[in-house]
Every structure is written in C-alpha cells, then in structure tokens.
Amino acid sequence: MSVLAHVFEAAGIATVVLSSVREMAEKTAPPRALHCEFPLGRPLGRPGDAAFQHDVLARAFALLSLPSGPVLVDHPEVIQADESPLACTLPPRFDPSLPPAVDEARGLRRAYDRALARRGVTSVGRVIDADGVPGALAVLHAIAEGADWKDAGIPGGNTTAVCHDIRTYYEEAALELADGPVPGGRAVEDWYFEQTEAGATVLKARAAIRDGGGKFPVWFYMTPGQR
C-alpha cells in the first residue's frame, strides 16, 4: 500500500494510506499515513460500525490539509484480534460411514446456502464450488491417513486454493449460524482450525504433505503461518 501511495502520488493524485504494519510505513514513508493497529484484514477497524469507520476516514482525510510530508500518525484506538473461537454450533454426526469432516461439511450446506442467498455472492470458487467441498475434504482426509499426496487427486492440483475454498465455505456458513455481535478478528479462524473436523483434517493433511517431502509452497499456505 505504501508503495502504491508513492505511485499514485507521482501520477498526480493525493493519497492517504491506512497503515497496518507500522514498521513498513516508517520504511516506505508514503506521503500521508494513518497507522491503524487493528486486526489484519480489517483496515477500517470495526465491521458494522459506521460511526467508527467514519472516525477512521475523518482522521485519514485530515492529513490531506497538511502542507508537507511524509507524515505518519497513529489512530488513538488499538483493537486486538480476538483469540477466542467463535461460538458456533456444528452439525451432529449424521453418516458414520463418512470421514467426520466430510459428514460435517455436508451438514453445513444449508447454512452456506442461506448465507449465499442473503449476501448474493460467495468467495468460494477458486478450484471448487460448494458442491466440491465434501469431496475435497475426503481427499485431504485420505492424505492425512497416509495416502500419497502426489496422486491423491487434490482438486485443481493446488493445495492453497482448495484450502481457501474449504475454509471460506465454513466461514461463510458459520457467520450465518452464529448469534451475537460481529466476531472479533481471528475468532472465526480459531473456530475453524480448533473446533471443526475440517480444520483438523487440513492441519493433519498439511503435516503429512510436509513430512512426505512436499515443497514448502505446497503445504505451508494451506493454513495461516502461525499454525
């Protein structure tokens, strides 16, 4: 973002960056930056809070009236990521003949469909659509149980893409199922990796690919780096 600020400014457009990594803003020194110590992925801070978002924008736009730069100021509020998993009921076991993650994914389908109908758009679809999620989890389950990942039939042949699709399917369904306020940053990620069969399956498959000689990019980006 800070690099793009320099590029756009050079093209004759005034810029303000909402910085998310202060050290990067310090090093790259865009003309104007408001550092926002908010959860990564939420540069305006609070989903569903128009007043807070307007406060962020007002502080950012105020920098446009300064006569010179670079200028880097901090938003006064710090919002920490929520490390408590989202409270979201998972479907009960329905078909014991299936791997648990496959059964679970099938059980979430109605919630996913409701989310899609309400939002009108989904971010599932890099290499599979919702119909492909149970099958993709069956492949990852097989890898986790010892199948050779190289000929297991990973959809699209792309571990990163298929894991994005599975996780997005779960997260969109979970947001439809969960009650209460908007979950904090990382709460839905924590729910997925720590409480769902799918998350556990992805983690096991990732370890199996790593231990089975998969190159770093093949397994590492299947989950957030800290996992």
Partner 1 sequence: MNGDQAMRAHSATLPSPVFEHPAWVTPPPLTRSTVAIVTSAALYAAGDEAFGAADTGYRLIDRDRRDLVLGHWSPNFDRAGVAVDLNVVYPIDRLEELAAAGTIGGVAPRHVSFAGNQPDDVSTIRLDSGPAAAAALRADGVDVVILTPV
Residues 105-144 touching partner 1, rule: CB under 8 A, are 119-123, 125-126
Minimum distance from CB of 18 to partner 1 (Å)? 5
Q: Residue 45 or residue 103: which is nearer to partner 1 going by CB?
A: 45
Question: What is d(CA 149, CA 132) in angstroms, rounded to the nearest whole number?
Answer: 18
Q: Does 223 bind partner 1 (CB under 8 A)?
A: yes
Q: Does 10 bind partner 1 (CB under 8 A)?
A: yes
Q: Does 94 bind partner 1 (CB under 8 A)?
A: no
| CB-CB neighbours of 157 under 10 Å | 11
Q: Residue 103 or residue 162: which is nearer to partner 1 going by CB?
A: 162
| CB-CB neighbours of 53 under 10 Å | 15
Site map 196..215 versus partner 1, x via CB under 8 A = --------------------
Tokens representing 82 are 């929520």
Q: Residue 39 or residue 214: which is nearer to partner 1 going by CB?
A: 39
| CB-CB neighbours of 190 under 10 Å | 19
**Which amino acid would we find at residue 110?**
R
| CB-CB neighbours of 199 under 10 Å | 22
Region near partner 1 per CB under 8 A, out of 60-68, 91-99, 132-140, 146-154: 60-68
Question: What is d(CA 136, CA 157) in angstroms, rounded to the nearest whole number?
Answer: 11
Q: Residue 134 or residue 184: which is nearer to partner 1 going by CB?
A: 184
How many residues touch partner 1 under the rule CB under 8 A: the total is: 85
Minimum distance from CB of 189 to partner 1 (Å)? 7
**Segment 13-32, which members bind partner 1 (CB under 8 A)?**
13-21, 23-24, 27-31
- Give the angle 80-124-93 at the CA atoms, nearest 5°: 85
**Segment 32-51, which members bind partner 1 (CB under 8 A)?**
39-48, 50
Tokens representing 115 are 């989310």
Minimum distance from CB of 155 to partner 1 (Å)? 15
Tokens representing 194 are 């720590």
Q: Does 59 bind partner 1 (CB under 8 A)?
A: no
| CB-CB neighbours of 204 under 10 Å | 16
Question: What is d(CA 120, CA 118) in angstroms, rounded to the nearest whole number?
Answer: 6
